[in-house]
Structures are given as structure tokens and as C-alpha cells.
A and B are shown apart, each in its own frame.
Chain A
């Protein structure tokens, strides 16, 4: 029999440490599939964040560097500037990218670094046990906003794609989700396009993945996908925000 679906080559066989139903695993697979399809596995360098995905390098069969919390875009800049013909991507969570790493992501995007950023938004700090993140939704309960996020003191959740799209430098920025098969399939197309831009050394690319966190949301995996659909999709619309073809957006 012929396999029409199996583990991508860029993915290692190591079982992941992620919680049951956590969609990090799906995103990992989409990245690995895309690396295979772009045929860049042997010249890829991944940069892992600090957060649930800090152990990402155990799950990819590519060279990996572990960046300090939030610094992956800077580390990736160093790698790409040092070895311009390699394929460089960062894999970061919302605490990593949208909180401590905001300066790094904004400036990497603004310099137009030819890297790809996989930004996983699950509206919470997973690794440390469910604290409020910059992407935590208004009134969403977490271990550090037990009465729900109070926007009058904690402000509103940050929409990273919209924020970065305001920069003038060419980029491909899109938000996708992996909470249902239909979305996973659509997400893969977008990710492949993003990676293709880097293969063609065209521009900075970032794909934001809405992702579930069953454990810290306190929901069973299936319920978590429903919660994401009902709560996160309205606040974080899924679309392509910026493409290099559009050129510089009007001031």
C-alpha cells in the first residue's frame, strides 16, 4: 500500500511533550511538511523560544538554536545575516513574541530580515501554568487575572499581525488557525506561501497561528477548539494582512 499521509521527513520521531490536544503539535507538523516541500531541510536553521515550544528542537530534524525569551528574531537575524543562503525560521509563542520580544519582532520585520516567523497565539502563558499574556482576551480568566482580564488596567489584547502590517517595509503577514481540519488545510497553504517568499529571498514573513491550550484554558481538547472558534476568531480575524506584491501601503 502507498502512504498518502505520514510523518514529514523534517520532523523527528520523538513523541512531543505537549499536552493532549494541544495544537502546537499540528503547527510543528505543518512547518515540517512545508520545509520538506520547499526542499530546504538540509539548509534550515530553526530558532526556538522560551515557552512550551522551547523543546521544539527535539521534534525537528533540522539544526536548531535555543534563544533567550523573546530574542528569537534577533538570533535569527544573526544566523541569516551570517549565512544568507540558509533557510531560517523562528517558532515563538505569544508570551515570547508579543510580550518580552516585541522590540525584537518589530525591528526584525522593519529591517525586512529574510526570515520566517511562526507565531503561535494561544492567548495564555502555557509553560508557566496559565498566566495572562498580551494576547489574553478581555474578561478571559487566567492565573494572574483570576477575575478575568480587566482592560482598564491590563489594556486590550495585542493584535500582532495588524501591528506589524503598519510597518512600511515589504513583508508577508497573515493570521491562520489550526482549530479545525478546514482551518489546518487553509493554514498550510498560507504557511507554504510564506516559506516560498523566503526561498525566493523576497521579504520578511510572519504567520500567526491561533492555537488551543486545553490544560490552561481548563477545557477538553474538543471544547477548546470550540472556545477558540467562538472567542478568539472574532477578536483575531483570519486573513492575509500584508503581501510584498501590495508594495508599500499608503502612508
Chain B
């Protein structure tokens, strides 16, 4: 049964439906409705809502709660997520499963409060110090945000690694009908590693310090093998109108992918055929799928609400076998279907 919900609230409800009863957060536009919703809703289900004194503290609270083997998540937006970088590195290093929502806003610095996609590099590469990855999932609708959120907890626990659901201001603020469906069943290992009291077992340690370089290197390669496994199993993407010839392929994720679909439909009515590939997992990035879609086109247009970040991954996927163009709007300005279509007309008309 579908219900009209704001993105932020749907994300909060999805967490509860996934069995999560603990949230530690901090207000920041445009995601404040997540903590607001949960401060009312969690007590209703016997859960715990704590408003931390900062995102630094909130991220360390979920570190402790996750280390104790309890399902937990936090939510923030770009500048707040930057403050969580240290703790996320610790959680990846000590293999603690948690979920983090980033409702991206304009940057850098205080930036703006309108939607953006300028945290792509941060989420997929620069979240914190050391060799680690967050699994980053990018929804393009409120329904998909809820679906990905519900599954994020299982993914985090399966791989014992933080998972980030990265939306943008639009995903967080718009209202769309949503229903909460059980994610596919996963074989989740028991949390024998959790620090929940050494009863009838030797003490557990949740730590990332390895002063012995041999042990730290072993640990790094162990994490690398985990990320290889994730890259093998967790890639997600969508293609749109690629089942026929197309001269140009658009690569876009999240909100901009939806906008691009309208451009595609518009151009199709003019006899200009364009395809779309939409990565849903930004890490692990679907290089192979992008490559396959790209090879059928003469050129590729990457559209982002940034000055170009995912474009780098597209280049990696296609290895420059095709000219790759970029079109971006920033500062909170959202590209319109018309301007994308117009840009494509110019690209295709240029010989």
C-alpha cells in the first residue's frame, strides 16, 4: 500500500522497517527531517533517538553502537558528512557495520542548501584516511531511496563495512508515493565479533590500531579482498532506452538521471536516439555495464550537478575509446531537460 512521503521521512521509516531501532544524528539542511521524524517515530517503536552535540560525536556514537552489534545509522548532509570522515575510517578499519545517509547539498565549504552531487569523490574516494571504501548507493526516487535504505543494513552487516545512501536535496525534500518492501534475503553471519560483554567467551576487541607493520599490511590486504568481493557482488545500475540504436549515451545518476530520461524522450520525438546508463552503486562502480552501453554510442555525455566527478569514472570505464563530454550545473542549480537536449543537439551537429 503506497503512502505519500517526503524523502527524508521515507528514509527514516525504511530504517525502522529494516529493524533498526537506534539513531544518532544532528540537524543540518536539507536532511533535518530525518532526525525530526525519528525523534517522534523511534520512541513509538521502543527505539532510541539521540541528538548528538556534533556530527563528529554522532558518527562516533554509531561507531560504538555498531561495535556493540546493534543495528544503527546516522544521517547528515555534505559539511556534516565531512565531519564524519574520521569515524567512518575507523569503522571501515575495525569492520563495524553502520549505515550513513548523505543528502548532498551545494559545496565546497558552507556551499548552499540546494541539491547537488558534488560529494561523489568524497563518498567514493575521499571519505577519510587510509585504504578503505564505503559502499555508496545513489537512489533516483523516494521509492528507490527507501528500498536501498532497507537493504543497506543487510549489506553493511554482510560485509561488516559502512554503507552510505547518497541522495541529494531533491531526493530528501520531495514527496512521492512509497511502499516498504522486504529486501532480498541475505545470509548474515552472526555477530560473534561484537563487543557486547565477554560472557563465556574471550574478550572481543574492536580496533584499527596495528602497530606491527606486518599485521597492518595483512589487515589492509584482508580489507582489499573484501572490497574485491563487494565489487564482484554488489554492482547495481539501470539502463534506459538502450534496446535500440543510439548515437549518444548519457551517463548520470540520482536526480539528474531522471531529468535526462525526459530529455531522451523529448529527443526521440525528434528522431534523435539517445540512451542512458544510470549507476546506482557509485561504489562498487559498474564499469563493465557502462562500457557495454558506451560502446554502442559514438559519444557520451555525462551530466552531473557538479563540475564533473563521476565523469572520471566514465572515462575509466570507456578508456577514452569514445569522446566524452561533460555538462554540469552547480551551486544548487538543477539542469533542465531542455538544456540537456539542446546541448546534445549541439554535440551531434558538430562534426
Binding site for B on A (CB under 8 A): 41-45, 47-48, 54-55, 57, 60-68, 71, 74-79, 81-83, 86, 103-104, 106-107, 111
Contact = CB atoms under 8 A, between A and B. Distances in A.
In this complex, the member of A45, A74, A76, A111 whose beta carbon has the largest number of chain B beta carbons within 10 angstroms is A74
A43 B197 contact: yes
B54 A79 contact: no
B48 interface: yes
A75 B196 contact: no
Contact of A71 (B50, B87, B208): B87
Contacts, number: 138
A45 to B, nearest CB: 5
A75 B54 CA distance: 13
B72 interface: yes
Given A47-B64, A62-B203, A63-B203, A68 B198 contact: no
B57 interface: yes
Contacts of B206: 64-66
A75 B195 contact: no
Interface residues of B, number: 39
Nearest to A54: B209
B245 interface: no
Given A65-B195, A67-B60, 16 more contacts: A41-B198, A42-B199, A54-B209, A63-B203, A65-B94, A65-B205, A67-B64, A77-B64, A78-B60, A78-B64, A78-B66, A81-B48, A81-B65, A82-B65, A103-B57, A104-B60
Cβ-closest 10 pairs across A and B: A78-B64, A75-B64, A82-B70, A78-B65, A63-B195, A74-B60, A78-B61, A66-B207, A107-B53, A82-B65
B63 A63 contact: no
Given A71-B60, A107-B57, A86 B197 contact: yes
B197 A45 contact: yes
Given A78-B68, A83-B68, A42 B198 contact: yes
A43 B22 CA distance: 20
B342 interface: no
Given A57-B207, A64-B207, A68-B87, A104 B196 contact: no
A76 B64 CA distance: 6
A75 B197 contact: no
B131 interface: no
A109 B1 CA distance: 44
B65 A71 contact: no
Contact of B64 (A57, A60, A61, A79): A79
B197 A44 contact: yes
Interface string B65-79: 111111010000000
Given A68-B86, A81-B48, A63 B64 contact: no
A68 B196 contact: no
30 contacts: A55-B209, A57-B207, A61-B198, A63-B195, A63-B196, A63-B203, A63-B205, A64-B195, A64-B204, A65-B64, A66-B94, A66-B205, A67-B64, A68-B60, A68-B86, A68-B87, A71-B87, A74-B57, A74-B58, A77-B64, A78-B60, A78-B62, A78-B67, A78-B72, A81-B24, A81-B50, A83-B70, A86-B197, A103-B56, A104-B57
Nearest to B87: A68
A126 to B, nearest CB: 16
B52 interface: yes
A75 B90 CA distance: 12
Contact of A74 (B64, B70, B195, B198): B64
Given A42-B199, A63-B196, A79 B68 contact: yes
B208 A66 contact: yes
Contact of B63 (A57, A64, A75, A106): A75
B93 to A, nearest CB: 9
A117 B69 CA distance: 22
Nearest to B204: A63
Contacts of B48: 81-82
Interface in B152-209: 195-200, 203-209
Given A71-B60, A78-B61, A78-B62, A43 B195 contact: no
A65 B87 contact: no
A128 B212 CA distance: 18
Contact of A78 (B24, B204, B205, B208): B24
Interface in B267-301: none
A135 to B, nearest CB: 22
Contacts of B62: 78
A86 B24 CA distance: 19
B203 to A, nearest CB: 5
